[in-house]
Amino acid sequence: MVNNKIIAVIAARGGSKRIPKKNIIDFHGEPLLAWTIQAAQQSEIFDKIIVSTDSEEIAQIAKNFGAEIPFMRSNHGDDHSPISFVITDALEQMNKLYQEKFKTVVQLMPSCPLRNAKDIKNAYTNFIETNAKFQISCFSFGWMNPWWAFKLAQDQSSEPIFAEALKKRSQDLEKLYCPTGAIWIADTSELLQHKTFYTPNTKFYPLDWKSAVDIDNYEDLEMAHSIFELMNTTS
C-alpha cells in the first residue's frame, strides 16, 4: 500500500532567551504557538500534527489547542542545534514509539503566526507539483535593498557588501530572497538520509512577506503585531 501520510512537526522548545517563553506569549488573545497549530489544522492536509517540546507548560498548551505530544523532547533543546536535527529526531521517535512512517514532513515554526492555512496548502501543492524532495519558504526583501548593504565600523565608515551594485539603479538589480522558517517541507526518507533541508536540490518557495514574518526578538514581535492589526482592519 502506498504511504502518502503527511505529518506536521512544530518545534517549540522552552528555553528561548531573547523573548522568555516566546512560544507561549500572548499574541492577540492566544498563545503564539496556537496560531501555528490552528493554521495547520485549518489546512486539512495533515494526518498528524505534533509539537516537539521539552517544556511541560508548552506541551499542555499545545494539547489544549488540539496538537499531539507523543513524546517529550530530550535532545536538541539548545540554541545551536539545527532545526533539521529536531525534525529528524521527531520522525525517528514516531517510528520507534508507534511504528508510524510518513511520506512527507512539514516543519512549521511557531514563531511565524501570520502564516495561515492557505499559505500551507499552497506551499504543499507547489512541493507536489514540482516533484521536490526539499522545499524551504522564502520571501523577497521588498522595500529593503540588500544589494546596497554595507558593514558599518565604529568610526561610522562603511564597507559595501556588493560594491558593483552601488553603481546600478534599483530597478536594474535582480530580486534577492531570504529564507523564513514558516513552511519547510521534505520527503521524510530524504531528510532522514541527509539530516538537513539544505541540499543541492532544495527548492525555495516564495511567500508574501507578511506571512513570512519570523519572530526572534521584541522588534520582530512589535512588527508582527502591527502587521496583524493592518491585515485585520476592515474599511
Q: pLDDT tens for residues 163-221? A: 999 999 988 999 999 999 999 999 999 999 999 999 999 999 999 999 999 999 999 99
| The pLDDT value given to residue 80 | 63
Please determine, for residue 78, whether its predicted confidence score (pLDDT) is greater than 70. Answer: no
The answer to whether the CB of 33 falls within 8 A of the CB of 12 is yes
Is residue 64, in this structure, part of any structural domain at all?
A: yes
105: left (phi over 0), alpha (psi -120 to 50) or beta: beta
141: cell is 526583501
| The pLDDT value given to residue 81 | 73
For 174, which DSSP code?
P
| Alpha carbon distance, N-terminus to C-terminus of the chain | 51
Residues 123 and 169 in one domain: no
Is residue 227, in this structure, part of any structural domain at all?
A: yes
Residues 210 and 169 in one domain: no
Determine the angle formed by the axes of helices 117-129 and 32-43, rounding to 10 degrees.
50
Q: Per-residue confidence at 1, pLDDT binned at 50, 70, 90?
A: low
Residues 151 and 205 in one domain: no
Residue numbers of the domain that contains 149: 142-175
Is residue 163, in this structure, part of any structural domain at all?
A: yes
Please determine, for residue 59, whether its predicted confidence score (pLDDT) is greater than 50. Answer: yes
> How many separate domains does the chain show?
2
Residues 96 and 207 in one domain: yes
Q: Which CATH number does the domain housing residue 219 bear?
A: 3.90.550.10
Is residue 34, in this structure, part of any structural domain at all?
A: yes
For 204, which DSSP code?
E
78: cell is 539548545
Per-residue CA distances from 97 to 90, 122, 223 (Å): 10, 31, 40
Residues 88 and 146 in one domain: no
Residues 133 and 224 in one domain: yes
The answer to whether the CB of 32 falls within 8 A of the CB of 21 is no
Residues 147 and 128 in one domain: no
Residues 110 and 91 in one domain: yes
Q: Cell 516537539 identifies what position?
A: 52
pLDDT > 90 in the chain, percent: 83
| The pLDDT value given to residue 98 | 85
Is residue 1, in this structure, part of any structural domain at all?
A: no
Q: List, in order, residues 6 or more apart from 34 with CB less than 8 Å away.
A: 61, 65
Per-residue CA distances from 153 to 82, 126, 145, 159, 161 (Å): 30, 43, 20, 8, 13
In angstroms, rounded to a whole number, what is the distance separating the alpha carbons of residues 134 and 132?
6
Residues 34 and 114 in one domain: yes
Give per-residue pLDDT as tens, 133-174: 999 999 999 888 999 999 999 999 999 999 999 999 988 999
Residues 44 and 149 in one domain: no
Please determine, for residue 77, whether its predicted confidence score (pLDDT) is greater than 60. Answer: no
Residues 156 and 46 in one domain: no
The answer to whether the CB of 7 falls within 8 A of the CB of 94 is yes
Q: Per-residue confidence at 235, pLDDT binned at 50, 70, 90?
A: very low
Rounded to two decimals, what is the model's pTM? 0.92
